[in-house]
């Protein structure tokens, strides 16, 4: 799976930590120390007037940040993990926590949060398995390509190669891989292969 850690921070201290034991995106360090490092990134950007960062990325890991009320939510994932999936997970987790706070549930029931995360990751795994099916087995499966609908997460296509811009402008959240192939006069498997490369950069999700 593409997520290793999920932290919920309050006043610079972790109050919740979800960790997948079989994922090793970073070297093992003390979790509280690691969470403090992430909190320091936020504090630095705030104090220097840069605002709250949405993510901090290295060549092997991406830290995504979401601030709601006085809580900070952090997801540590692989760089190619789609921003749309991260945003969806942030919304699910923050809604659960803030609803508990609103209803004055103390202590917070983190079992519900763990269950929501596990369900989300299971659904995501099934989706990934579908997308990673060998293309060769689906060359003549029109239905397969009609069911895959790409979404793009950039509004400006200036950084997209000229010969790809037409394709990107056709991605509107409704056109399927099959639709795109017909409009580009290309084969669906070729379009899917192109967009999978951009999926790794977080520009496209399915």
pLDDT in tens, 49-67: 877 778 888 777 888 888 8
| Number of domains the chain contains | 2
Last residue of some domain: 131, 161, 182?
131
Quick check: 135 pLDDT over 60? no
CATH number, domain with residue 91: 3.30.450.70
Quick check: 108 pLDDT over 80? no
The pLDDT mean for the chain works out to 79
Give the strand order in the sheet containing 71-77. Answer: 13-19, 3-10, 71-77, 62-68, 55-57
Same domain for 117 and 152, yes or no, is: no
Same domain for 25 and 86, yes or no, is: yes
Which of the four pLDDT bands, split at 50, 70 and 90, describes residue 46? confident
Same domain for 79 and 142, yes or no, is: no
d(CA 176, CA 123): 20
pLDDT of 131 reads 54
Please say whether the dihedral angle defined by the alpha carbons of residues 94, 97, 99 and 101, taken in this order, is positive or negative. negative
Same domain for 83 and 98, yes or no, is: yes
d(CA 194, CA 198): 7
* Contact present, 204 and 80 (Cβ < 8 Å): no
Cα–chain center distance at 121: 11
* Contact present, 2 and 82 (Cβ < 8 Å): no
d(CA 145, CA 141): 7
Quick check: 156 pLDDT over 80? no
Last residue of some domain: 114, 131, 148?
131
Which of the four pLDDT bands, split at 50, 70 and 90, describes residue 21? low
Q: Which residue has the higher pLDDT, 26 or 167?
A: 167
Same domain for 43 and 92, yes or no, is: yes
pLDDT of 25 reads 58
Same domain for 55 and 123, yes or no, is: yes
Same domain for 58 and 71, yes or no, is: yes
Which residue range is the domain that position 73 belongs to?
A: 3-131
Token digits of residue 77:
């994932």
Same domain for 106 and 74, yes or no, is: yes
Output the DSSP codes for 98-157: HHHHHTT-SS--HHHHHHHHHHHHHHHHHHHHHHTS-GGGGTT-HHHHHT---EE--S--
Which of the four pLDDT bands, split at 50, 70 and 90, describes residue 198? confident
Report the percent of the chain where pLDDT is more than 90: 4
Same domain for 10 and 60, yes or no, is: yes
Reported pTM: 0.59
Same domain for 95 and 13, yes or no, is: yes
Phi-psi region of 17 (alpha: psi -120 to 50; beta: other; left: phi over 0): beta
Same domain for 121 and 175, yes or no, is: no
Same domain for 63 and 81, yes or no, is: yes
pLDDT of 180 reads 92
Last residue of some domain: 131, 158, 184?
131
């Amino acid at each position: 799976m593409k997520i290793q850690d999920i932290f919920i921070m309050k006043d610079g201290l972790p109050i919740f930590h979800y960790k997948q034991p079989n994922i090793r995106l970073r070297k093992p360090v003390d979790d509280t120390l690691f969470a403090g490092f992430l909190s320091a990134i936020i504090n630095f950007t705030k104090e220097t007037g840069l605002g709250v960062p949405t993510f901090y990325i290295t060549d092997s890991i991406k830290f995504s940040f979401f601030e709601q009320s006085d809580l900070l939510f952090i997801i540590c994932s692989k760089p190619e993990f789609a921003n749309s999936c991260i945003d969806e997970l942030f919304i699910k987790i923050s809604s659960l926590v803030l609803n508990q706070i609103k209803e004055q549930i103390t202590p917070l029931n983190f079992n519900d949060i763990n269950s929501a995360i596990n369900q989300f990751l299971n659904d995501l795994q099934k989706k990934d398995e579908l997308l990673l099916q060998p293309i060769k087995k689906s060359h003549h499966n029109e239905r397969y390509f009609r069911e895959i609908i790409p979404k793009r997460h950039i509004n400006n296509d200036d950084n997209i190669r000229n010969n790809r811009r037409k394709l990107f402008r056709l991605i509107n959240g409704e056109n399927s891989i099959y639709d795109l192939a017909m409009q580009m006069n290309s084969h669906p498997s070729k379009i899917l292969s192109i967009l999978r490369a951009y999926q790794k950069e977080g520009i496209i999700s399915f």
